[in-house]
């Protein structure tokens, strides 16, 4: 049928556009890696090094949590602290945090969350952690991370420029022992990390990721502190926008990477995570942009085109698209993890990852409700959170605050 054939050609064309976009992304990632390889931050010599407070909210025992905390306890930097936070002593992470503080009392402190001011549990902890921090530079660091060389030195040097308001780090995934964790680490390296780098290199577009992001305390307070995003799910994205649009300062993608440590995640846990992420992502960006970003996962579009109009040529196109996607992901995955092995299972994992991500992306077109840590929430534009069936404003939110939040998100 002519209509079916035309739709098939449209889908093939979308896949081809996606292939070119992947080629450009790979070019910018390669350029970024080459420009930073072998470079170490030069020492500041006799110049004073600013104190840095690393805020590390904990919830449950992540893969390799003890080893991750040990990495942060032994950084080569003269003035820093790690402030660990848990919501309550019943959290399994509490015992791990207590042991870490006992082992490294000169670096680590533990604080319990004070109250529950909002619907975002991570931000609730950050409000308490920021209040307990001693230093001017605040580094938000997830509990499942480690970092590259010169991590804190680069932060200190970059913040010497008063026009810099925020620093975020490109992400790579390491440590996989299961298929779910391999797919998770693939996504972190080839989509999240590569997207940060390419967006900044190609269009000076800021993608701030809260897995590792740093701000000056005075800048954060001028934005209303973490309290201002207590009912926002994508608090990192919103704060990044506010830094550039309201403060007129720059967001910087650091040279030093941050590594997401994922070892034992199941395929089901991987899928559920990115189903939630698709909802968050779509509420933060316009629908046309959300649709366009799907082109960076071109194989499902090519497969749909082949199903609508099967032929030998169609199968060749599908094979070509699959080959390009495999080359892109394997290359970026290898480059982002120096010294880490790249197992042969990465090849089928790329294909399964992309299939599951396409299903999650499709769900994100329509869904606006998610279950998060036992609570059902509805996500509004700007990733603002409200209860799924609200009978009154969320904790700490006045009836006029939704409109104010929308105004702030608009710039």
CATH topology of domain 51-267: Spore Coat Polysaccharide Biosynthesis Protein SpsA; Chain A (3.90.550)
Report whether 203 contacts 349 (CB < 8 A): no
Going from N- to C-terminal start, the domains of the chain cover: 51-267
Which tens digits make up the pLDDT trace of 242-273? 999 999 999 988 888 899 999 999 999 999 99
The encoded tokens of residue 324 equal: 């390009």
The reported pLDDT for the residue numbered 390 is 55
Q: Which residue spans within 254-297 are E strands per DSSP?
A: 258-261
Element (H, E) at 257: none
- The residues, any chain, with a CB within 8 Å of residue 331's CB and separated by 6 or more, are 26
The reported pLDDT for the residue numbered 149 is 75
The reported pLDDT for the residue numbered 387 is 87
The reported pLDDT for the residue numbered 201 is 83
SS (H, E, C) 363-408: HHHHCCEEEECCEEEEEEHHHEEEECCCCCCCCCCCCCHHHHHHHH
Query: Exposure pattern of 233-249 as b/e (b: 16+ CB <10 Å)?
Result: bbbbbbbbbbbbeebeb
Tokens 């409109």 label which residue?
A: 403
Q: What whole-number distance in Å separates Cα of residue 338 and Cα of residue 361?
A: 30
Element (H, E) at 133: none
Q: Please tell me what DSSP assigns to residue 140.
A: E
Distance of CA 283 to the CA centre of its chain: 15
Task: Tell me the sheet residues that pair with 371.
Answer: 376
The encoded tokens of residue 77 equal: 């930097």
Sign, CA dihedral 272-278-281-282, equals negative
The encoded tokens of residue 223 equal: 């934005």
Which tens digits make up the pLDDT trace of 308-328? 999 999 999 999 999 999 999
Task: Tell me the sheet residues that pair with 80.
Answer: 52
Between CA 168 and CA 179, with CA 173 as vertex, the angle to 5 degrees is 150
* DSSP conformation letters of 12-57: HHHHHHHHHHHHHHHHHHHHHHHHHTT--PPP-TTSPPPPEEEEEE
Strand order in the sheet with 369-372: 369-372, 375-380, 384-387
Q: What whole-number distance in Å separates Cα of residue 16 and Cα of residue 298?
A: 7
Q: What whole-number distance in Å separates Cα of residue 210 and Cα of residue 125?
A: 14
The number of CA neighbours under 13 Å toward the Cβ of 281 is: 23
Stated pTM of the model: 0.89
Q: What whole-number distance in Å separates Cα of residue 245 and Cα of residue 145?
A: 29
Mean pLDDT score of the chain, rounded to an integer? 89
Which tens digits make up the pLDDT trace of 190-235? 999 999 989 888 877 777 888 999 999 999 999 999 999 999 999 9
Which tens digits make up the pLDDT trace of 32-91? 888 766 545 444 444 658 999 999 999 989 889 999 999 999 998 999 999 999 999 999
Tokens 């098939």 label which residue?
A: 8
């Amino acid at each position: 049928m002519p209509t079916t054939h035309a739709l098939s050609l449209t889908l093939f064309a979308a896949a081809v556009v996606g292939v070119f976009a992947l080629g450009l992304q790979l070019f910018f990632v390669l350029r970024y890696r080459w420009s930073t390889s072998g470079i170490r931050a030069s020492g500041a010599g006799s110049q004073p090094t600013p104190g840095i407070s690393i805020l590390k909210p904990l919830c449950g025992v992540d893969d390799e949590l003890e080893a991750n905390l040990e990495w942060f306890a032994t950084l080569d930097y003269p003035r820093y602290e790690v402030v660990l936070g848990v919501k309550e002593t019943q959290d399994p992470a509490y015992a791990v945090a207590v042991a870490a503080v006992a082992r490294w009392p000169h670096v680590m402190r533990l604080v319990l969350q004070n109250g529950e001011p909002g619907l975002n549990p991570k931000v609730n902890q950050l409000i308490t952690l920021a209040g307990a921090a001693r230093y001017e530079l605040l580094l938000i660091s997830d509990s499942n991370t480690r970092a590259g060389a010169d991590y804190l030195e680069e932060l200190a040097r970059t913040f010497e420029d008063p026009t810099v308001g925020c620093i975020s780090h490109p992400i790579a995934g390491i440590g996989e022992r299961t298929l779910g964790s391999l797919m998770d680490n693939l996504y972190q390296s080839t989509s999240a990390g590569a997207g940060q780098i390419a967006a900044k290199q190609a269009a000076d577009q800021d993608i701030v990721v809260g897995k590792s992001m740093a701000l000056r305390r005075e800048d954060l307070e001028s934005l209303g502190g973490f309290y201002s995003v207590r009912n926002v799910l994508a608090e990192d994205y919103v704060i990044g926008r506010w830094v550039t649009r309201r403060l007129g300062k720059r967001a910087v993608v650091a040279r030093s990477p941050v590594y997401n440590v994922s070892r034992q995640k199941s395929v089901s846990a991987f899928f559920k995570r990115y189903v939630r992420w698709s909802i968050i992502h779509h509420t933060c960006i316009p629908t046309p942009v959300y649709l366009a970003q799907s082109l960076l996962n071109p194989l499902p579009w090519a497969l749909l085109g082949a199903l609508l109009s099967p032929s030998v040529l169609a199968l060749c196109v599908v094979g070509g698209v699959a080959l390009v996607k495999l080359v892109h992901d394997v290359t970026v995955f290898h480059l982002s993890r120096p010294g880490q092995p790249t197992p042969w299972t990465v090849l089928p994992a790329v294909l399964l990852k992309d299939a599951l991500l396409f299903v999650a992306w499709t769900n994100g077109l329509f869904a606006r409700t998610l279950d998060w840590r036992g609570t059902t929430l509805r996500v509004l534009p700007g990733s603002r959170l409200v209860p799924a069936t609200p009978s009154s404003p969320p904790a700490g939110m006045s009836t006029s605050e939704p409109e104010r939040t929308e105004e702030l998100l608009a710039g």
